[in-house]
Amino acid sequence: MNNIEAMPITSSFKLLVAPEEQELYDDEVEKQVSAAWEHCQKITDWDLFDGKVFQLLKLGKNCLHGNFINYRYFYTQHKYPELKEKLAITLVGVTAVLRCGNQILLAKRSEKVTQYPGKWEFAPSGGIAIDYLTDHTVDYEKQIFEELTQEVGMDEVFVESVKPLLFVRDKQDLMADIVCQMDVDRLGAESASYDSWEYTDYRWLKQDEITEFIRIYSTEVIPNVSVINNFLVE
């Protein structure tokens, strides 16, 4: 886990956006990205959406500075090592540790997702949309509520509390997550649809069961799962 760093965060942690978008890359890099993106679209069995995603620019003591860029930049660097060196984009998302009583939800990612297909993770999780940007600040908790509805099929009325826990960054895969604990009541867990194209399986597990699951299926969980779980155990 040497490639992963984690920093505890509190409710005062903020996600700040640079006041103005800037031209990031020269013409040659732009041409390479466009060509790579066009090729990826041709060889992918589903539609690739080039929406706005949030990238990390600078991590402060109690905040994260970044800006929104088109997804094609991150995706092409993910697919082509030569672009990864030139772009070096760290994508920032959100992850919820969804807790109901003494159980926590894990979910298995679909083969149709672009990052970590077929791997288990704490769910829900997702990228940060520009929809929740107001006055240069992104409300990442609202993003988690949206992921809960879309990926777990649970209404937000069942949420009892949301508590920021960690900022986790994978320096090898250039992925980062703002991790929050989201407590929900039993009725919410029992009535959720658990029906999303992004996941193929869901499991509610106790803390010791998660630790054992990670030990047995270490290659089948995304890299940040062990780091988050260790934090929960401590």
Say which CATH topology domain 14-233 has.
Answer: Nucleoside Triphosphate Pyrophosphohydrolase (3.90.79)
For 166, phi then psi, to 5°, come to -145, 150
User: Is residue 184 predicted with pLDDT exceeding 90?
Assistant: yes
Q: Over the stretch 220-231, which tens digit does the pLDDT of each residue have?
A: 999 999 999 999
d(Cα 144, Cα 97) in Å, to the nearest integer? 10
Q: Smallest Cα–Cα separation from 72: which of 82, 83, 64?
A: 83
**What pLDDT score does 23 carry?**
61
**What pLDDT score does 2 carry?**
72
Domain spans in the chain, listed from the N-terminal domain onward? 14-233
Q: Over the stretch 134-175, which tens digit does the pLDDT of each residue have?
A: 999 999 999 999 999 999 999 999 999 999 999 999 999 999
pTM (two decimals): 0.94
167 CB burial (10 A radius; 0-12, 13-18, 19+): buried
Q: Over the stretch 6-43, which tens digit does the pLDDT of each residue have?
A: 999 999 999 999 876 556 788 999 999 999 999 998 88
Q: What is the mean pLDDT of the chain?
A: 93
d(Cα 98, Cα 164) in Å, to the nearest integer? 12
- Using a pLDDT cut of 90, give the percent of the chain over it: 84
Please report, as a single letter, which amino acid is at residue 80: Y
Helix-then-strand count for the chain, H and E: 7, 13
